[in-house]
Amino acid sequence: MKTTHPAFTPAEYERRIKRTRAAMQEKGIDVLVVTDPSNMAWLTGYDGWSFYVHQAVVLGLEGAPLWWGRAMDALGALRTVFMASESIHGYDDSFVQNPDKHPMQELCKLIVDRGWGRARIGVEMDNYYFSAAAYQSLQTGMPVAAFLDATGLVNWQRAVKSEAEIGFMRKAARIVEKMHAVIAEKAEPGLAKNALVADIYHAAITGVDEAWGDYPAIVPLTPSGADATAPHLTWDNQPLVSGEANFFEIAGVYRRYHCPQSRTLFLGSAPQKYLEAEQAVLEAVAAGMEQIRPGNLCEDVARAFNSTLNRLGFEKDSRCGYSIGLSYPPDWGERTMSFRAGDKTVLQAGMIFHFMPALWLDDGGIEITEPVLVTNNAAEYLCNTPRGLLIKG
């Protein structure tokens, strides 16, 4: 059965599966049970808001991957995965949120029926979507199987983007540019924050030209004033006021591919310390961008950024970047490499990062962040949003 809107060609999915199988063999894994919806989508194309119930993609060392999940969601799998219908398996609805039995009991039957009951099975142990009860149920249902930790195995295969994926990211970049342009146009003293967020969402979902907007893995983070001393607060109904820092950490999304970007708004005059922080961040980002090239390490970027920032009188005690791409809630990061001391991941052309040099001061925060692509010999900003503070007098 053909999918209605396949995101990529079957050949692209086959390349991804081949890469994943090579990593499985390196780790001695015969069968991989993938429960992260981002990894499920990357391997098969599956795209549905069904990750609140148990679901998985099962990948052996040969043959087509299997989609397994709630029976009603199997219909969504038929519409989105690249495999044929015989690779789709649904479990009865009586297993949904039932304390007396667990859906993983049914997954065990599927795996055993495939002849994998004694296999070395990889599971994503440290994952939002794989619970202790799920693991216990698998162990009970397959007592002679060997379970191995496969956390991050598929995530790492996603690190270098294909040309098609980069094309999706560029579309997402156009969308987030539009979202920031709406903030610059609409923000004014007295405007309720939730009203501004509504305009941001409208721009995000409307999209740009043929690039329609998908939903973000993280909602807009939009704190103001003292709330902006914390990084992950959302919005309320309070009005914007002059003289406060307001940062906006938002993402454009196209077909699940995210381009996050942040800017900081001042209505009226910005305090001198924020102007100094702005210049320090911009100079430190420029130093970091010089290090984003194939062959360098993630920690090289962090070292260049932090040494410049420190020289200019500021400090950042958290990472200043991380890998991004295809994501589902609750996180748009790929949970692999980061720009921080000790991360010796070698940069390669096709990797994409959220360069995230946010600072939190005693009375607010400043975020001027960028999605950046590692090219064959340098780094490329994916967005053309004006850099620096957004100041509206």
Domain ranges of the chain: 10-157, 163-392
What is the structure's pLDDT at 6?
A: 72
What is the structure's pLDDT at 1?
A: 47
- Cα atoms in the Cβ-side hemisphere of radius 13 Å centred on 297: 10
Q: Look at the block and give the residue holding tokens 């983070």.
A: 221
Burial 298-316 (b: 16+ CB within 10 A, else e): bbbbbbbbbebbeeeebeb
Tell me the CATH number for domain 163-392: 3.90.230.10
Write out the CATH class of domain 10-157: alpha beta
* Tens digits of pLDDT across the chain (393 residues): 445 567 999 999 999 999 999 999 999 999 999 999 999 999 999 999 999 999 999 999 999 999 999 999 999 999 999 999 999 999 999 999 999 999 999 999 999 999 999 999 999 999 999 999 999 999 999 999 999 999 999 999 999 999 999 999 999 999 999 999 999 999 999 999 999 999 999 999 999 999 999 999 999 999 998 888 888 999 999 999 998 999 999 999 999 999 999 999 999 999 999 999 999 999 999 999 999 999 999 999 999 999 999 999 999 989 999 999 999 999 999 999 999 999 999 999 999 999 999 888 888 889 999 999 999 999 999 999 999 999 997
Burial 79-95 (b: 16+ CB within 10 A, else e): bbbbbeeebbbbbeeeb
Six token digits for residue 296: 């360098």
Q: Can you give the three-state secondary structure of 78-139, one letter per residue?
A: HHHCCCCHHHEEEECHHHCCCCCCCCHHHHHHHHHHCCCCCCEEEECCCCCCCCHHHHHHHH
**Across the chain, where does the E strand assignment appear?**
31-34, 56-59, 66-70, 88-91, 120-123, 146-149, 245-254, 257-267, 321-324, 333-338, 352-355, 359-361, 364-366, 370-374, 379-381, 390-392
Q: Look at the block and give the residue holding tokens 């010796």.
A: 344
Helix or strand run (H / E) with residue 278:
helix 272-291
**Residues, the chain, total?**
393
DSSP code string of 36-50: -HHHHHHHH----S-
* Maximum separation of any 2 CA atoms in the chain, in Å: 69
CA–CA separation, 97 vs 30, rounded Å? 30
Least Cα distance to 365 among 264, 280, 287, 275 occurs for 264
Q: Look at the block and give the residue holding tokens 């989508």.
A: 41
